[in-house]
Structure 1
Amino acid sequence: MKQDIFGLTIEELQAALTAKGMKTFRAKQVFQWLYQKSVFDFSAMRNLSKADIALLEENFTVLPRRIAVLREQNSSDGLTSKLLLGLPDGNSVETVLMRHDYGCSVCVSSQVGCDMHCAFCASGLNGAVRNLSAAEIIAQVYLFNERLRGENTMVSRVVVMGSGEPMLNFDAVIGALDFLHREDTCLMSYRNMTISTCGIIPGIRRLAEQGKPINLAVSLHAVRSELRTSLMPVNKGFPFADVITAAEAYSEAGGRQVTYEYILLKDKNDSVQDAELLSNYLRFKHASVNLIPANPVPEQGFERPSRQRVERFLKILQKNRINATVRKEMGKDIDAACGQLRAKFAKEQEHK
């Protein structure tokens, strides 16, 4: 069996390569090719000898070369690209590149599927299959880095907001972010990283203990208990009021503003009453609200509110001095919602 070296630290890579007879300095060269130049084919690593390349090809593999792009969708404006990635074990995950005027960000998945079973989300239609490894999370970023190489740029921001609940795969997620933060890889600031959670309070507390200025986003989506429980079953174990308290403690510990994600669902959580209640819970908190008009998920039967109702909700929050914006929509024409592309692919495979 060949050893996959993707995601190893420089020290781990040195140990692996020298054990096969390579000189120590070669590990640094390979490391630079992988993580600074986003080159994953040993034969393209031009400062290695033919003998070294042959040794590498005989003994090692690199994960991004073992991942298949099963589907690719690009938005008509050229700003968003979504990939459905086939992992070596046959599972698949989605990842999305978004181009902004301040750089490129990637939304990564942390699990294959999701066990949160949020009523409006396609990611949890079939539950969670398994956690992703740190290397599999890192690879989602580097597959786009490889594509951006010709533009002489790299991904500068990462959002752990794809399929899965990051706090249920905490060690791998933090391991991946620490790796991307390294000076000899992406040199990505922790301030350019965001972890989104449905409200797993122990995970929020563990993140606070890390002492790293990582942005926290909380998927809230309702502030009426029965409604939130019907939309997000996680509310039974971690009631939203307790989640807000934990998030505020995280904010106070690190000085970082918490973002509350709020998907607006027609005639479900978009009323004047809902806007006033949300304002009451977040008043005087170091927080902002990101309003997200729902991407329709046909399997779940939810609709998007009218633009007028979205604007009404926003104005109520702003009137109550809550920092709120409506998310700029990207990739609306390419199955933008988490899990949609994977679910569509799975359905196609069933009918073959």
Structure 2
Amino acid sequence: MTIAASSNPPEVAYPASWYDGEGRLMLKNLTLEQLSDWVVAALGEPRSRGMQLWRALYHSWPLLEDLRPTIGTPNGFSAAFVDRLTRVASLGGGMEVAGVSTAPDGTQKLACRLTTGPAAGMEVECVLIPMPGSKPRMTVCISSQVGCAQNCQFCFTGRMGLLGQLSPAQIVQQVVLAKRQARPGGVAKPPDPSSGPEVPVTNVVFMGMGEPLHNAGSVAVAVEVLTHPQGLGFPASRVCVSTVGLVPEMRAFAARSRAALAVSLHATTDEVRNWLVPINRRHPLRELVAALEELFPAEAQRAGRHVLVQYVLLRGVNDGEADAHRLADLLARVRCKVNLIGFNPHPGTRFAPSGERATQAFLAVLRQRGCVVMLRASRGGEEMAAVYRSYWAT
């Protein structure tokens, strides 16, 4: 279902989930080009007004939900324009913070309740992870779907099935909410410059709920907003999208965006990967690795892109030294970093984490074979452990 914007011709139509409960278009669903088109069609304004709104949304006042505080300020808007805009459009993102939990190490999990779309009333998770270093900074781990359709056997979210797709605005809004949470007082308090600066959020990882490339359209728009210099302004190298191996979508994403890509491999034979990651039956290892060799060739110059290969170690399943040698063979012609991940058991799982001896032996084989490899540290305690640090430790 789509809804047409009440506008001068040409008429512009968007998905119904892009509108709030009052029937207003949520502007965070739009790219800069789309926003510029919309202000012409819906408001009869010049296209330059689109850039002004874009900067207001993401650059000048990224933590605001409406434009009234900008009235009369430098680069702000007139009261008449704000009134007219507010009747047909919203700066909201289609979700609200339902709760915040904080672990002893400072990791914060935001439960984000959706307020629009087919999954309205359901929740996704957004996690803020403190990063090591001399200056405080954070990585935010965001979701792209409610649940997931990929049915990876060791993944708790995969057991839910796919319950809903997030709109671009709902993906972008998680980062906005994370930035609000990172300021003094968190999301519970309105912006107050006198209370001190927010802790900068320097990295975004699409490694929360869902398979990002199964919602590729919304994710691509969100990444464009995140990485646009006049948008939220993250360097493309500090935004990472994770996939279990949807090969055509992976190729399309790599062609469209300079954002980083992570691929969840988790097995070194088709037999094991067919079981652990069922998408392998559609895109087996030979096809997936060939795509990685093409997109991230090992002979690329130092400034070339690399892929992060994620590998969850499961006791007695994929953690033997033979697995490590096969992994090194598979990646011999891929410019990559390998991220070894300790499995975090959840109720009902049949899997167990690898022991320390097996983990260190696996790590040693990869390093002996010349792989760039890291062992991911869990953050946030056992109840909030599936968060990501090692790739952006520097």
Q: In the alignment, what sits opposite 1:301?
A: 350
Q: In the alignment, what sits opposite 2:294?
A: 249
Cα shift at 1:16:
5.2
| CA distance in structure 2 between the partners assigned to 1:208 and 1:62 by the alignment | 29
Higher RCO (CA 8 Å, separation ≥ 6 residues): 1
Asked if the contact 1:14–1:27 (Cα under 8 Å) also holds between the matched residues in 2, the reply is yes
Asked if the contact 1:122–1:337 (Cα under 8 Å) also holds between the matched residues in 2, the reply is no
The 1:301/1:133 distance shift into structure 2, 3 A limit, reads same
The DSSP-based 3-state class of the residue aligned with 2:57 is helix
Asked if the contact 1:22–1:52 (Cα under 8 Å) also holds between the matched residues in 2, the reply is no
The 1:31/1:281 distance shift into structure 2, 3 A limit, reads closer
The 1:29/1:255 distance shift into structure 2, 3 A limit, reads closer
Measured against aligned partners, the alpha-carbon deviations of 1:195-222 in whole angstroms (never above 9, x if no partner) come to 2111111112213332x43222110111
Cα shift at 1:128:
1.0
Query: Is 1:184 equivalent to 2:230 in the alignment?
Result: yes
Q: How many residues align?
A: 335
Specify which of 128, 133, 146 is matched with residue 112 of structure 1.
146
Cα shift at 1:332:
3.1
| CA distance in structure 2 between the partners assigned to 1:12 and 1:200 by the alignment | 27
Q: In the alignment, what sits opposite 1:226?
A: 271
Asked if the contact 1:134–1:175 (Cα under 8 Å) also holds between the matched residues in 2, the reply is yes
What's the TM-score once normalised by structure 2's chain length?
A: 0.76
Q: In the alignment, what sits opposite 1:8?
A: 30
Amino acid at match of 2:318: N
Stretches of structure 2 lacking an aligned partner (at least 5 in a row): 1-22, 185-196, 388-394
Q: In the alignment, what sits opposite 1:94?
A: 125
Query: Is 1:282 equivalent to 2:305 in the alignment?
Result: no
Q: In the alignment, what sits opposite 1:349?
A: none
Cα shift at 1:153:
5.0
Q: Counterparts in 2 of 1:332-347, with a 5 A limit?
A: 332-337=381-386
The 1:241/1:143 distance shift into structure 2, 3 A limit, reads same
Specify which of 196, 210, 213 is matched with residue 167 of structure 1.
213
Asked if the contact 1:271–1:313 (Cα under 8 Å) also holds between the matched residues in 2, the reply is yes
The 1:138/1:85 distance shift into structure 2, 3 A limit, reads same
What's the TM-score once normalised by structure 1's chain length?
A: 0.85
The DSSP-based 3-state class of the residue aligned with 1:141 is helix
The 1:56/1:205 distance shift into structure 2, 3 A limit, reads closer
Asked if the contact 2:293–2:333 (Cα under 8 Å) also holds between the matched residues in 1, the reply is no
Query: Is 1:272 equivalent to 2:321 in the alignment?
Result: yes
Amino acid at match of 1:227: V
Asked if the contact 2:308–2:337 (Cα under 8 Å) also holds between the matched residues in 1, the reply is yes
Q: In the alignment, what sits opposite 1:83?
A: 110
Measured against aligned partners, the alpha-carbon deviations of 1:276-328 in whole angstroms (never above 9, x if no partner) come to 22222223432221000101122223222222221121111111222111012
Cα shift at 1:160:
1.5
Query: Is 1:44 equivalent to 2:90 in the alignment?
Result: no
Measured against aligned partners, the alpha-carbon deviations of 1:64-117 in whole angstroms (never above 9, x if no partner) come to 4x4222232222111x22222111122322222222146422222122211110
Amino acid at match of 1:82: K
The 1:55/1:153 distance shift into structure 2, 3 A limit, reads farther
Q: CA RMSD in A?
A: 2.7
Q: In the alignment, what sits opposite 2:165?
A: 131
Cα shift at 1:9:
4.3
Range with greater deviation from structure 2 (140-149 or 310-319): 140-149
Q: In the alignment, what sits opposite 1:148?
A: 182
Range with greater deviation from structure 2 (67-76 or 19-28): 19-28
| CA distance in structure 1 between the partners assigned to 2:43 and 2:272 by the alignment | 59
Amino acid at match of 1:77: D
Stretches of structure 1 lacking an aligned partner (at least 5 in a row): 339-352
| CA distance in structure 1 between the partners assigned to 2:375 and 2:35 by the alignment | 44
Q: In the alignment, what sits opposite 1:343?
A: none
The 1:284/1:58 distance shift into structure 2, 3 A limit, reads closer
The DSSP-based 3-state class of the residue aligned with 2:351 is coil
Asked if the contact 2:30–2:221 (Cα under 8 Å) also holds between the matched residues in 1, the reply is no
Identity in percent:
32
| CA distance in structure 1 between the partners assigned to 2:49 and 2:254 by the alignment | 38
The 1:170/1:117 distance shift into structure 2, 3 A limit, reads same
Amino acid at match of 1:225: D
Query: Is 1:63 equivalent to 2:92 in the alignment?
Result: yes
The 1:45/1:7 distance shift into structure 2, 3 A limit, reads farther
Query: Is 1:263 equivalent to 2:297 in the alignment?
Result: no
Cα shift at 1:146:
2.2
The 1:14/1:122 distance shift into structure 2, 3 A limit, reads same
